[in-house]
Amino acid sequence: MKTKLIAALLGISILGSWAQQQSEIKKLEWLLGTWETRTPKGKLYETWIKKSNSEFQAKSYYLNKKDTIMFERVQLVEKDKKLHYIVSVTGQHHEQPVDFVSTAGSNSTALVFENQQNDFPQIITYKKIAKDSLFAEISGKMNGKIAKQAFPMKKIK
């Protein structure tokens, strides 16, 4: 009887832990879909899909006239009780992924990721403004000076 009780409590504890991890990424489902912004290089699109209950994936690309130019691929995963924004940018870091880790400033409507070892950016931020709009920003030091790039985005699907 005592063994069954311990096994049941262990099972509940594991399921509770799993549910808590799943709920963190589930709170971010507002990010799923295709987002658009205009830049000097053309229209920038970011499309997020749910790969699994613990991982979202995104691809960013520019449309300039009829040309599609891949820009980056992103994995948003939960590990070590943190969200990780793992990005591979075309033409940077030998196409190797760079890991940015969520900070204490992150919540269900504002995501803040940091990697102080990265050249630029060191901080990536997403803020939900409304159901169909978000504000993304990359920031940090570039050539010894504080720099920022803002991407106000509208959801198109």
Does residue 54 lie within any of the structural domains?
Answer: yes
Does residue 19 lie within any of the structural domains?
Answer: no
Which pLDDT score is estimated for 75?
A: 97
Residues found in the chain: 157
Does residue 4 lie within any of the structural domains?
Answer: no
Which pLDDT score is estimated for 31?
A: 96
Identify the domain containing residue 36 by its residue range: 26-156
Which pLDDT score is estimated for 23?
A: 59
pLDDT along the chain (157 residues), means of 10: 41 40 77 95 94 95 85 92 92 91 92 96 97 97 95 96
Which pLDDT score is estimated for 41?
A: 83
Each residue of 96-122: b (16+ CB within 10 Å) or e?
eebebbbeeebeeeebbbbbeebeebb
Q: How many domains does the chain have?
A: 1
Does residue 13 lie within any of the structural domains?
Answer: no
CATH code of 61's domain: 2.40.128.20
Which pLDDT score is estimated for 51?
A: 96
Say how far residue 22 (Cα) sits from the centre of its chain. 15
Distance CA 157, CA 154 (A): 9
Contact between 44 and 151 (Cβ < 8 Å): yes
Does residue 91 lie within any of the structural domains?
Answer: yes
Q: Cα dihedral sign for 118, 120, 122, 128?
A: negative
Specify the pTM: 0.82
Distance CA 13, CA 61 (A): 42
Distance CA 91, CA 75 (A): 18
Per-residue pLDDT of 87-118, as tens digits, reads: 999 888 888 999 999 999 899 999 999 999 99
Does residue 104 lie within any of the structural domains?
Answer: yes
Does residue 8 lie within any of the structural domains?
Answer: no
Does residue 30 lie within any of the structural domains?
Answer: yes
